[in-house]
Structure 1
């Protein structure tokens, strides 16, 4: 079209608008979703403004009264709806609008189903994992607070925090906490506070509201922005029963803004009490340990070995002397018994010894071979015999019996002095009876 026009031959505005209307008319019908922000009825037509729930974008929608009244329940201002529309361009006014063919309200059940699907998607990505949760600082130097403008949530957090720790500092970002501007403003404030190195923890606070009012805090872009923060984030949205997705991705969830102040800022009174209790407990523990050690030391010192060490040595010396005397008595008794036994054995040996028999006048006759002569039979004349007496012995030669031929006179053999033996020695043979 630009090639066919020039300053000398421009197109009339009606032609251009008719061409625009033709292009828009070719789009056909589509389903759109949004939030009703303005609703007015004039005659047989209902005029409403359909705003995007996240971005600052809106469009005019006209609906015949029959289409509007056929919707059950009838949508009111602020309701989320899905509309089957046909885009129209009004040539006479040069304006664009949608014509509603059917309106369907988005109920709570549908919203909850959408949130559940989004929750499962983000959970599968690991955004809600416990290992991603960061621990809050014990005493933050500066606390970042994102809240509504002049809201009760802001007052609750500030007043309770300063009541607990008067020296705590805050950087407050006042933003829209519901409506189409909530998500971008909260996200921008979150990024500013996260980039500030003085901020140690960030609180996102909002009071209670309906499910539709809290929908911005379940927006996917905001949830991902919180997960990307390097600073710990505390979610304090609504009341205890409200659970937007921001609660799941935050490092800590607080049931209310007041609860967030209690969890982020420690109570100086409670900390002083805790310090005093710990100090007293430490003193009791150390005192008890010292008392036990003193008791143990006194018990050890009272033992005889340490109380009177010389007495213990004397007692041991007495034991040694007693053992020594007992050993002497035992050894002396053993020697006495052995001596008595030896005396008895000696007396028995003396009694049974052949020497005792010889002392009574008996003698022992032995052949040169040492054999004892027990009878005269078998002893020839002239045999040399040894006669053993008590103290010595004689060597003799036998003579023939009377009446026999005289044998040559035997030369008396020279007696040899026998070797002395002790009295208790056993002789070579018993005396002959």
Structure 2
């Protein structure tokens, strides 16, 4: 960017400010101030010689201008934080506020930033983080959405449909799968900011008798959903997430519903994991290319997996491995490149302690997994453990004194959200600046 020394005069709500073009250019091309510059980042002549009036609060503008000048965010006691964030959003510099407030995501340095109490009408069933650090929480037939400032947005209501899964397409759109068809297919794309149903995913006539479940997306704008037919057959449905049109259905070997779908960018395959088997589906070949299953009667394995205790699965492409967790809260690792039934290298929990199933209300609080920025996360009871390194050694634990056992957690942007069951709250964890 070309350095600018030109002074710029601003009248914000009747209060005068004087700054430089260099300072305003630091806000970025897509900011409120980006229109003052040409394609070469030169200040327009009329912008340099004109006093610009901005009909906004000058006190909040002063805080944001100092942020652009110094890169540091100081919020005086008389400034309301949420209103400041809204002003930053208006000027298009909310990312500057976020980077000044928190450092890069680091599971070893996460700190509890706050807790949000949800409705008491029904126990929560899932939480999902968005790419820009927003989140949504499923409560039976409704989905509560929270923006970056953790303000509640219009509720997404699926009428009489029980929500099976929810996933963010991007920071503005959410896909929901439900038990009863949303007119045609059981899945819909909703606006995160308004709760409006934008369109329904189409399903061919011969496939109307399925129930959609777990969701996932690929890098080429495909939507995947695990589907169970009325005849108890399991297939993966594929849709174009831009048009909503159905593209394919591919059967896979399983005796139970999928607990996780994950698109693997390195192999262009979809991992489909249930409580008893793991499949890799290649839609270019329209076939299952790899499959792992577990036989209780097989004695040549170091540990025979009980399918009823297989609770979550995640592929870690960086290390060519698949991590699994059972109800005893043990982590197991498999080789992602294996072409046959692979043995599982099981590891004890950090405390060396096993637990039986933990119930909170009517919900089974099973261990959950996540992988983010080279770190592995695993929940158990009211703790989220963080692992790192080639041997996945524990480096820290996240624990909140209130809320009870963790039912689900999710990572997105620069935040981790942990959903509790007993008190209908979710925690927000953030990384402070160094």
TM-score of Structure 1 vs Structure 2, range by shorter chain: under 0.3
- The structure in which a higher percent of residues are strand is 2
Relative to the length of structure 1, the TM-score reads: 0.18
- The structure in which a higher percent of residues are helix is 1
Relative to the length of structure 2, the TM-score reads: 0.18
Higher relative contact order (CA 8 A, sep 6+): 2
